[in-house]
Amino acid sequence: MNFILEGFRKGVILLFGLDSGVLAVLKLSLYISILATFIAVCIGVPLGSIIAIKRFPLKKIIIALINTGMGLPPVVVGLFAVLFLSRNGPLGFLQWLYTPKGMVLAQVIIATPIITGLSLAAVQSVDQRFYQQILALGATTRQSIWVLLKEIRLSVLAAVIAGFGSIISEVGAVMMVGGNIKGQTRVLTTATVLEAHMGNFDIAIALGLILLTMSFIVNLALTFIQQSKDRQK
């Protein structure tokens, strides 16, 4: 029990001591996850909206595939990303294996179905009267989509929170694609696993606390935006 408490004590010191190594890991984690979330939002929100609005063959099967993708095991994503990005793989020419770019790619693959699926559900939940009303008001297609996105902004924000949450906390894919190289591809989750394996529980606890704190701050910010809109109702 003592070693746990000692670990927490040292963790707090590390956390507030602004250790340069820890800060580097923190910055890389944020960079990768925020960039991956941004890309996933750019793909997922329009894709989900189009799938929800348009009628086309195999629509239900595609929705089922997206729903399956919302629960993709990160380690499987990591495995396929490694296979594709390895020197002999189809994307080997990119030379992204064991780089932050490869890690962003893996996280985009994890977050995109989540954001697509939640956006799709949000658009499908919009009252059918919306579409005729917006056309009757004289909107172009582009204006209609913009007004629609504003209409479902709270749900889109929830999708962003879910997407970010799923990738900031995952370890399997970034470990396999990034390789946990110190100073290059080491992020909070992979560093925590490594330090715990090495018996450095104080550092592992510190990293874990930082991860939790960071995740909390980002989600708090998003939640504040979401709830401030909601409060006006």
Partner 1 sequence: MIKIENLKLNFSGRLNLLVDNLSIEGGRIFTIIGPNGAGKTTLLNIIALFQKPDNGSIQIWGKDILKLRDKLNFRRNISFVFSQPYLFNETVYNNVVLPLRLRGMRDTGAVDEMLDLFKIGHLKMNMAATLSQGEKHRVALARAFVTRPKLILLDEPFLSLDARFKRLLINELRRIIKLSKATVIFVTQDQFEALALCDTMAVMVNGKILQHSGPEDIFARPGSKEVADFVGIETIVEGLICKKEGNLCFIKVKDKILEAVSEYSEGDEVFICIRPEDVVVSLPDRQAGKRMDTNSARNHFNAIIINIEPWRLEYKLSLDCGFNLVAFVTAQSVKNLDLRIGREIIASFKATAVHLIRRGSQNDTI
- Catalog residues that contact partner 1 under the rule CB under 8 A: 127, 129-130, 132-133, 135-140, 143, 147, 150-151, 232-233
**Min. distance of Cβ 151 from partner 1 in angstroms?**
6
**Min. distance of Cβ 46 from partner 1 in angstroms?**
20
Cβ proximity to partner 1, 127 vs 197, nearer residue:
127
Cβ proximity to partner 1, 57 vs 138, nearer residue:
138
Cβ proximity to partner 1, 135 vs 212, nearer residue:
135
**Min. distance of Cβ 122 from partner 1 in angstroms?**
12
Cβ proximity to partner 1, 10 vs 153, nearer residue:
153
**Min. distance of Cβ 139 from partner 1 in angstroms?**
5
Cβ proximity to partner 1, 2 vs 127, nearer residue:
127
**Min. distance of Cβ 190 from partner 1 in angstroms?**
41
**218-226 contacts, C-beta under 8 A, 24 or more apart:** 218/164, 218/168, 219/161, 219/164, 219/165, 222/157, 222/160, 222/161, 222/164, 223/161, 225/157, 226/154, 226/157, 226/158, 226/161
